[in-house]
Amino acid sequence: MTKPQLTLVENTGGWHGRANPQTHVVSAGHTDQHLPLVHQLDLFDAPTLPDLMIFIVAMDKVHGRTLQRAVLAHKPRSIIDLRYVARFDQYGSNRDTLFAYFKSAGSHYALESIPWHDFSMREFMAEDGVHIPRIHHELIELSRGTVMLFVPKPQHANMLITYLHRMLSGKAKSTWRIEQVA
């Protein structure tokens, strides 16, 4: 028994069940032969890339090789380390290797320490709670390209995502996308 498929466009009657040879949809490991590809919208494939790509890395949980691949794949123009103590002791990497990857990607590394232990989620949500000047400069004033942000723990990544969405929604004149590297 299969679950019903959500169709996001109006059915104009242009296809009739399994007789259409253009149909072939794969979902959750099974093939469904009765839905046309030409009438399905892809929710996750944006037609154009955003002007600003932001990647957040929780450094306590990321594997060194994953971080290296992310740096080489996305080639951030800036890497801003928001940790209180900048350690590079992830499994599978070390400080020298990571900085060599930063250099080969053409990335500028900057340390902008934030005392995470002094902040709560409420302060990141409030308009007057937290202000990080370096992030404001990189994301609002420069507003183009790819930026990678290092935070200590996954919960700090969630706090930062809340802050970034609030800040960018009110001030950004460009499109953006925020992703976590895990």
Degrees to nearest 5, angle at CA 177 with 176 and 179: 150
CA distance 12 to 69: 45
Instruction: For 140-167, write each residue's pLDDT tens digit.
Output: 888 789 999 999 999 999 988 988 888 8
Element (H, E) at 88: none
Minimum mean pLDDT range among 118-127, 128-137, 168-177:
118-127
Residue 139 has pLDDT above 70, yes or no: yes
Instruction: For 71-97, write each residue's pLDDT tens digit.
Output: 999 999 999 999 988 888 889 889 999
* Residue ranges of domains in the chain, CATH in brackets: 52-181 (3.40.1010)
- Predicted TM-score of the model (pTM): 0.70
